[in-house]
């Protein structure tokens, strides 16, 4: 295994790989939830329930994204505090963020249930599709507090220098989701409700196991303890994590807009095809997000320690890693397009053809997506929530909304696939401009 890696270390490429790999795998396993549900629902329940899962998922992701805000924003503040040498304050901040996240999870679960049906109806769901959306959503929302904690602990495990433990918890959560899905959908004929229950139970595994671990005082440099209310620190964490919140909110809002456009241009088949593309997109982007989340505490630590030389080294190495992986992702997406499409929608020839055609176009977005994902996380780690939020806001909302509304007017359904590429390209360009513009300020 080698010597334990600490935030204060100098990071070679090999050390970067070792330290960030657990967070990459964590994010990929988290993405597996929707993919596994989609596979079992599509193949064992039917096309309309499969469409319902993809139709309502963006709304559920909006609510869960608040855990990401506490995790990334709080993690950056905690890492900076550790870099300044104040471990006691870091532990109290950690506890405050966990308690606040759990409270928000309960509140958002209640509100989500209240607005679930009106939101699905407003987006265009009706009849059987609407009822399936409500059924799936209400079951999954029961586990929302645990889901938010799971998002949060993905960042906190890394800051606590326990990335491998975080990986183990996430793998346990992902594997339990697969087992429950197979049991509740394929063995017992519980249909869509079974898939939702499988997801909810696996989210409890991912959110509650870390809670039990951090209740121990011997957990390490961070553990849960008594803490007072610190409104200013909460505000800083929320502001700093607002970019990740905005990114997830925007992606979910855009996902709902895409579904609305696809219903208009291609009917339920369009939504189902988009669902398959989003499964691949979630997994591939999870690699970028996992790397960015994994390296963020290291950047935050060296920023707090005023080690500009290491900041420059981390940025240079990361940009090279992102560039190489982007090219590999494009090649993998083109190569895997047909087998992946067959797995999900091979039972319907017309739907399979539509999915494959969209896949071939959509995959070029992976060439540009990693730059903006990493850039936003980089500025979050530097405690510059404003720049991070601007990058996320432009990438996931402004550019995509503009493109998905305009491009289909000229190219029909193909315009929907092209719009993703255009949005990612523009976001990458903006990220490069910010990195160049802030170079003197941060000394990287």
> Would you state the pLDDT for residue 89?
87
Strands (E), 22-114: none
> Would you state the pLDDT for residue 329?
93
> Would you state the pLDDT for residue 34?
60
Phi, psi of 120 (to 5 degrees): -60, -40
Measured over the CA atoms of residue 338, residue 341, residue 346 and residue 348, the dihedral's sign is negative
Nearest to 171 by CA among 334, 355, 26: 26
How many residues in the chain?
Answer: 444
CA distance 11 to 143: 38
Cβ of 146: how many Cβ atoms within 10 Å?
27
Half-sphere exposure of 26 (CA within 13 A, CB side): 31
Running along the chain, 444 residues long, what does each successive block of 10 average in pLDDT? Answer: 68 87 79 74 83 84 78 79 83 88 90 92 84 94 91 80 80 87 89 91 91 81 83 81 71 80 80 80 87 86 85 92 95 89 80 87 93 91 85 86 90 88 95 92 84
* DSSP string of 224-259, one letter each residue: -------HHHHHHHHHHTHHHHHHHHHHHHHHHHHH
> Would you state the pLDDT for residue 340?
82
Q: How far from each other are the two terminal CA atoms of the chain, in whole angstroms?
A: 31
> Would you state the pLDDT for residue 1?
46
Phi, psi of 69 (to 5 degrees): -60, -50
Three-state secondary structure readout of 294-316: HHHHHHHHHHHCCCHHHHHHHHH
- Burial (CB count within 10 angstroms: exposed 0-12, middle 13-18, buried 19+), residue 343: middle
* DSSP string of 370-424, one letter each residue: HHHHHHHHHHHHTT-HHHHHHHHHIIIIIHHHHHHHHHHHHHTHHHHHHHHHHHH
> Would you state the pLDDT for residue 3?
63
DSSP, collapsed to helix, strand or coil, labels residue 5 as coil
CA distance 138 to 246: 24
Half-sphere exposure of 304 (CA within 13 A, CB side): 24
CA distance 69 to 76: 11
CA distance 105 to 211: 14
Nearest to 181 by CA among 170, 190, 172: 190
CB 262 within 8 A of CB 416: yes
Q: Which helix (H) or strand (E) holds 433?
A: helix 413-437
> Would you state the pLDDT for residue 33?
62
Nearest to 442 by CA among 402, 396, 383, 385: 383
CA distance 378 to 292: 7
């Amino acid at each position: 295994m080698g010597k334990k890696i600490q935030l204060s270390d100098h990071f070679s490429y090999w050390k970067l790989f070792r330290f960030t790999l657990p967070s990459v795998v964590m994010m990929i396993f988290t993405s597996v939830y929707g993919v596994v549900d989609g596979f079992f629902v599509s193949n064992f329940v039917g096309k309309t329930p499969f469409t319902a899962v993809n139709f309502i998922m963006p709304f559920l992701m909006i609510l869960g994204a608040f855990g990401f805000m506490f995790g990334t924003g709080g993690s950056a503040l905690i890492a900076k505090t550790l870099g300044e040498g104040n471990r006691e304050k870091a532990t109290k901040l950690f506890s405050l963020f966990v308690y606040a996240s759990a409270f928000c999870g309960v509140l958002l679960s209640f509100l989500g249930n209240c607005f679930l049906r009106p939101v699905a109806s407003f987006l265009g769901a009706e009849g059987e599709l609407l009822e399936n959306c409500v059924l799936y959503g209400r079951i999954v929302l029961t586990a929302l507090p645990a889901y938010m904690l799971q998002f949060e602990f993905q960042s906190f495990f890394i800051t606590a220098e326990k990335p491998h433990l975080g990986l183990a918890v996430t793998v346990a959560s992902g594997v339990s989701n697969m087992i429950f899905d197979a049991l509740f959908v394929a063995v017992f004929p519980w249909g869509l409700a079974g898939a939702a229950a499988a997801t909810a139970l696996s989210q409890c595994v991912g959110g509650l196991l870390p809670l039990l671990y951090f209740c121990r005082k011997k957990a390490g440099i961070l553990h849960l303890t008594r803490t007072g209310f610190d409104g200013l620190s909460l505000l800083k964490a929320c502001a700093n994590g607002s970019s990740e919140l905005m990114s997830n909110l925007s992606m979910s809002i855009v996902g709902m807009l895409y579904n609305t456009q696809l219903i208009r241009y291609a009917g339920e088949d369009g939504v189902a095809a988009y669902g398959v593309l989003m499964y691949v997109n979630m997994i591939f982007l999870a690699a970028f997000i996992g790397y960015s989340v994994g390296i963020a505490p290291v950047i935050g630590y060296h920023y707090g320690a005023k080690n500009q030389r290491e900041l420059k080294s981390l940025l240079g190495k990361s940009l090279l890693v992102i560039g190489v992986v982007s090219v590999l992702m494009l090649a993998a997406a083109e190569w895997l397009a047909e087998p992946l499409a067959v797995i999900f929608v091979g039972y319907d020839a017309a739907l399979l053809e539509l999915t494959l055609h969209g896949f071939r176009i959509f995959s070029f977005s992976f060439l540009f997506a990693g730059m903006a994902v990493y850039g936003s996380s980089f500025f979050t780690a530097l405690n510059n929530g404003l720049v991070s939020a601007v990058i996320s806001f432009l990438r996931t909302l402004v550019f995509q909304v503009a493109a998905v509304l305009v491009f289909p007017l000229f190219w029909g359904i193909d315009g929907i696939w092209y719009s993703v590429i255009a949005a990612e390209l523009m976001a990458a360009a903006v990220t490069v401009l910010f990195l160049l513009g802030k170079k003197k300020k941060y000394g990287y």
